Amino acid sequence: MQNSFYTKSICHFCQPLLKVALGCALLLSAGQVLAQNEPWNVYTGDVMPNESTPAFVLSSVNPAASAELPAIVPAEQSIIENPDMPGNKVLSFKIMGAPNHVQFLWRRNFPDPPAAPTAATVVVKAKGLPGVDRVFEMDLDFAGTRGGFIIYSNGTYTIRGNSESFSLGAGFDPMQWHTYRFTKTASNASFYLDENPTPIATATIAADTRTNNYFRFGDGNSDPTTGALFDWVIWDNTGAYSPAQKALPSATVLAVTPDAVTPASTSIYPNPLNGSRQALVRFSLPTASDVNIQIFDITGKKVGQPHAFRNLKPDDHELAIPVADLTGGIYFFQISTSKYTATQKLIVR
């Protein structure tokens, strides 16, 4: 993306599939700190998934490839320029049914035993396309069980194995850019929206004898139509991490529009905080934007009410946030515009 912190053009000079080091501590649970620099695997959307290194593979392609209908049809899938950010490439994916494909998934295989994961995290930045029933499906099949979620264009979602629809929230528009985080263990699967530490849903998965070892995204149903733009897909097969436990890697925290708050221009002072009654949140805005700041504790629970600042002008900003009620520990400040959320960690002593 084109901002002062990171441009995806950098990736044209390196492998499209990267392992990016995360520059902050990862938190598994209250009081438990993981090692720094745990890697994310990153598909950047600059090339077709099967052309990345290593490659995604085609899965559940229906009808199967033939001389008349190849597996990949440019009218269904191609790399295009992001209409919301000129110069940035994204994967355009649209399965509309006969006479072309009615089903298509991109699959990423995890390592085989004995290194096969028992838990994993997958994060997708996507924007629904007009004229479809569904935005995309996420299928997580490993550790002997299968879980997943389907995002619909009408602002609802379903859980794999359950036909009941649930709302993604009042006013939520899947036709805009959003970040979708999916986690799974052998016994449950969770879904987070726009890096909110509180999951939209957590589903219990029944025990099974499955031996698959992958995740897939795309269209796994032969009836509804499916379409989305995919900016990037990242995954970590070392654990099921909420946004509060593992932040997005800095090199792939990509603004969707120029008015986004980026981690490069965001900081909290003082940090660590010791005895101060307020924390100063500093950031820059290149264009006018609303900004909301919400504090979360280490478990992902909201602390107090969000702090809303309306129509801030393009400038450097320093906002004072009351913190007198915070006890000693680790907290997370989410600094959000309407299209993007950055997370900063604050230590209170």
Question: Do 13 and 47 form a contact (C-beta atoms < 8 A)?
Answer: no
**Long-range CB contact pairs, 206-209, < 8 A, 24+:** 206/145, 207/144, 207/145, 208/144, 208/145, 208/146, 209/144
Q: Which of 13-17, 23-27, 236-240 has the highest mean pLDDT?
A: 236-240
- pLDDT of 82 reads 86
SS3 264: helix
> What is the average per-residue pLDDT within 134-162?
95
The answer to which of 130-134, 195-199, 205-209, 306-310 has the lowest mean pLDDT is 205-209
Whether the pLDDT of residue 54 is over 60: the answer is yes
Q: What Rg value do the Cα atoms of the chain yield, rounded?
A: 20
Task: Give the pair of three-digit tokens for residue 269.
Answer: 């002072």
Domains of the chain and CATH, by start: 8-252 (2.60.120.560), 263-348 (2.60.40.3080)
Task: Give the pair of three-digit tokens for residue 126.
Answer: 């996507």
From the number of C-beta atoms within 10 Å of its C-beta (0-12, 13-18, 19+), residue 52 rates as buried
Task: Give the pair of three-digit tokens for residue 194.
Answer: 């726009």
Q: How far apart are CA 76 and CA 61, in angstroms?
A: 12
Whether the pLDDT of residue 263 is over 60: the answer is no
| Of the candidates 349, 324, 325, 344, the residue with the CA atom closest to the CA atom of residue 334 | 344
Q: Which of 45-59, 244-258, 323-337 has the highest mean pLDDT?
A: 45-59
Q: Which of 4-8, 104-108, 243-247 has the highest mean pLDDT?
A: 104-108
Task: Give the pair of three-digit tokens for residue 268.
Answer: 């909290």
**pLDDT tens digits along 82-135:** 887 767 789 999 999 988 999 999 999 998 777 889 999 999 999 999 999 999
